[in-house]
Each structure stands twice: as structure tokens, then as C-alpha cells.
């Protein structure tokens, strides 16, 4: 199976930017649809963004449209989430996820069978 490890989280002021990385190993992510989710304390895990194998099909949650950018570098076996204009409500643990489907982007957590451990993002007001 594929193993996923997130990095790049930290503390940032509101309005700032942060870039998260998801490094995959064990399998090439060229064979996977990749997604980012986040989960705040006491809340359910929610979809943030998804990207198909080639990066020509991308889907964002309404809450992050225009602020976040998902991208992938299959040669580096890495997926990124560029987060701009961060708000305190963006504070959460951010998870990288994968589904062994090259095209369809699912927005429900159950669609993804592989998950990383998560990286904490905290946005101060």
C-alpha cells in the first residue's frame, strides 16, 4: 500500500500563508487521486481539496476557494497544499489522503482508503 506523511504545519498569523506537503512512499501517487482533509478539535473531518492523477481536475471546498491551492508533483511523489489568507477558522489538523482511482475526486472521507498522520495548522487572530 501507499504510506503518506504530512509536513509543513505550524503557527501562523491570520492573513499569512503556509505550504503543506504530503510525501508518499511504497507506491507512486500517479495511480491515485489525492485529497486534503482537516479536522478541528471536537469536529468532524471535512474535505478541503482534491486532485486527480494528472492535476487537470481539481475540486475545492467552498470555504477555501480562492485561498488554497492543491498541486502534485508525481516525479517527487508529493502532493502540496498552498494555503494563503489564512483565517483562525482554518485551524485544524490537516490530513493527506489517497484513493487508488486516477480520475474521480471524492469529497467524502470514506472515499479515501489511505491516510497520513496529519500535521497541525494553527492560525492566530
Per-residue pLDDT tens for 70-110?
999 999 999 999 999 999 999 999 999 999 988 899 999 99
> H-type helices in the chain, by residue range?
none
* Whole-number Cα distances in Å, 32 to 15, 35, 72, 77, 103: 32, 10, 11, 11, 8
Mean pLDDT of the chain: 96
Please report the pLDDT score of residue 56 as a whole number. Answer: 94
Please report the pLDDT score of residue 79 as a whole number. Answer: 97
Is it the case that residue 113 has pLDDT exceeding 90?
yes
Residue 54's contacts (CB-CB under 8 Å, 6 or more residues apart) are none
Q: What angle do CA 90, 65, 114 make, to 5 degrees?
A: 70
CB 20 within 8 Å of CB 119: yes
- Quote the DSSP letter at residue 112: -
Each residue's pLDDT tens digit, 38-80: 999 999 999 999 999 999 999 999 999 999 999 999 999 999 9
Q: How confident is the model at residue 10 (pLDDT cuts 50, 70, 90)?
A: very high
Tell whether the torsion through CA atoms of 64, 41, 94 and 26 is positive or negative. Answer: negative
DSSP character string of 47-75 = EEEEE-TTSS-EEE-TTTTTTEEEEEETT
Amino acid at each position: 500500500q501507499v504510506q503518506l506523511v504530512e509536513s509543513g504545519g505550524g503557527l501562523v498569523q491570520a492573513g499569512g500563508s503556509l505550504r503543506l506537503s504530503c510525501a508518499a512512499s511504497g507506491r507512486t501517487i500517479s495511480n491515485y487521486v489525492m485529497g486534503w482533509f482537516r479536522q478541528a478539535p471536537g469536529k468532524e473531518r471535512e474535505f478541503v481539496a482534491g486532485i486527480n492523477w494528472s492535476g487537470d481536475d481539481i475540486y475545492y471546498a467552498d470555504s477555501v476557494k480562492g485561498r488554497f491551492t492543491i498541486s502534485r508533483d508525481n516525479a517527487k511523489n508529493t502532493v502540496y497544499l498552498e494555503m494563503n489568507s489564512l483565517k483562525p477558522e482554518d485551524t485544524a489538523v490537516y490530513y493527506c489522503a489517497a484513493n487508488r482511482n486516477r480520475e474521480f475526486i471524492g469529497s467524502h472521507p470514506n472515499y479515501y482508503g489511505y491516510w497520513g498522520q496529519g500535521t497541525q495548522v494553527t492560525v492566530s487572530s
